[in-house]
């Protein structure tokens, strides 16, 4: 019987399953190198940890790994039901809050190496709670790659920007759909068809990178914007999406609608809110996302070698 300890948290409703110790060695290279080794030799662990029958499509996982960058305290690899993520904003907030719960970090700045670069997380003091759970993540540089790209779905032409915030996004405002919990099925199916269509049209990120997230925006009286984010495995993001909000902030800045240091409140389809802002450093847009995460369960995954579905469905 194999045993894999885990700690689950959620950030704005979106879960993160933290695995603090891997049962194999990924070498001494960068976190990006470790990810390459993981994909090649150990992808079965991702399926075991996240997929049914013990997981679900909405779960996002985080492997804690040693960083190669000497300025970083931790390295992390994020993964989901279909593969791996370059960065994960809600996951980083969940990671830091989980490490605080475990007593591995104290309030202050924590540098984390991801496969796409180093991020700085600030764990805020919380005098009232059992453990600090509010985190600000200074992300890697974000930017807009393509502007106002037309995509036609079911005879209707919409437009979107292609932007990078740690993952690639197609961000759309003129979709005409209501962004609320009562409309999840229509939002999911429409977003998936949009993704299929822009992929068929050859719309990509930089260097031909796959654009695998779709983000639909709407107005709301409760924040500056409300969004529905469809992730690569066809599960919607319960949080406002940290990398998606980073991409959104870059587009707003490029359009002259956001100033340096100005707070932007981004609401998710379930109602949770991230606060975002940007700094300009060396002509690059550096987003910072702030949110709260809550530890909600801990335990041990058991893998019986006799189980035909032990490695997931």
Residue 248: pLDDT above 80? yes
- Other Cβ atoms less than 10 A from the Cβ of 279: the count is 12
Judged by phi (left if over 0) then psi (alpha if -120 to 50, else beta), residue 208 lies in left
What does the block give as tokens for 2?
Answer: 């194999």
Tell me how far apart the alpha carbons of residues 66 and 31 are, in angstroms, rounded to a whole number: 8
pLDDT at 287: 98
Superfamily of domain 143-288: Diaminopimelate Epimerase; Chain A, domain 1 (3.10.310.10)
Q: Does domain 2-139+295-303 have CATH number 3.10.310.10?
A: yes
23-76 pLDDT, tens digit each: 999 999 999 999 999 999 999 999 999 999 999 999 999 999 999 999 999 999
Alpha-helical runs (H) found in the chain: 31-41, 43-50, 89-101, 184-200, 242-254
Query: Is residue 172 annotated as part of the catalytic site, yes or no?
Result: no
The CATH 3.10.310.10 domain(s) of the chain lie at 2-139+295-303, 143-288
Say what the pLDDT of residue 178 is. Answer: 97
Give the bridge partners for 265, in sequence order.
275
pLDDT at 128 over 90: no
- What pTM, to 2 d.p., does this model score? 0.96
Question: Considering 72, 88, 231, 251, which one is annotated as catalytic?
Answer: 88
Neighbours of 147 (CB within 10 A): 13
Is the separation of the CB atoms in 153 and 198 below 8 Å?
Answer: no
| Encoded tokens for 7 | 């700690």
Q: Which residues make Cβ contacts (< 8 Å) with residue 307, sequence separation at least 6?
A: none
Q: Any catalytic annotation for residue 88?
A: yes
Of the candidates 172, 231, 241, 251, the residue annotated as catalytic is 241
**Does the pLDDT value for residue 130 go beyond 90?**
no
């Amino acid at each position: 019987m194999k045993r894999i300890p885990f700690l689950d948290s959620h950030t704005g409703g979106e879960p993160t399953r933290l695995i603090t110790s891997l049962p194999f060695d990924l070498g001494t290279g960068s976190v990006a190198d470790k990810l390459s080794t993981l994909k090649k030799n150990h992808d079965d662990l991702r399926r075991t940890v996240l997929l049914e029958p013990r997981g679900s499509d909405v779960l996002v996982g985080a492997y804690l790994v040693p960083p190669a960058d000497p300025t970083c305290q931790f390295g992390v690899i994020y993964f989901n039901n279909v593969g791996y993520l370059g960065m994960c904003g809600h996951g980083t907030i969940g990671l830091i809050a989980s490490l605080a719960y475990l007593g591995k970090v104290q309030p202050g700045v924590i540098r984390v190496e991801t496969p796409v670069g180093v991020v700085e997380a600030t764990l805020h003091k919380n005098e009232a709670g059992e453990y600090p759970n509010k985190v600000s993540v200074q992300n890697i540089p974000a930017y807009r790659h393509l502007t106002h790209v037309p995509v036609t779905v079911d005879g209707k032409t919409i437009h979107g920007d292609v932007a990078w915030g740690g993952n690639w996004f197609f961000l759309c405002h003129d979709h005409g759909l209501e962004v609320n919990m009562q409309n999840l099925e229509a939002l999911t199916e429409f977003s998936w068809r949009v993704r299929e269509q822009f992929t068929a049209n050859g719309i990509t990120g930089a260097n031909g990178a796959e654009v695998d997230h779709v983000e639909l925006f709407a107005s709301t009286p409760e924040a500056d914007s409300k969004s529905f984010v469809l992730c690569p495995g066809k599960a919607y993001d319960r949080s406002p999406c940290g990398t998606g909000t980073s991409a959104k902030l870059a587009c707003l800045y490029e359009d002259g609608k956001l100033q340096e240091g100005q707070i932007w409140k981004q609401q998710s389809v379930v109602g949770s809110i991230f606060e975002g802002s940007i700094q300009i450093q060396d002509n690059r847009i550096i987003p910072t996302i702030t949110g709260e995460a809550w530890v909600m369960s801990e335990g041990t995954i058991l893998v019986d070698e006799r189980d035909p579905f032990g490695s997931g469905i």
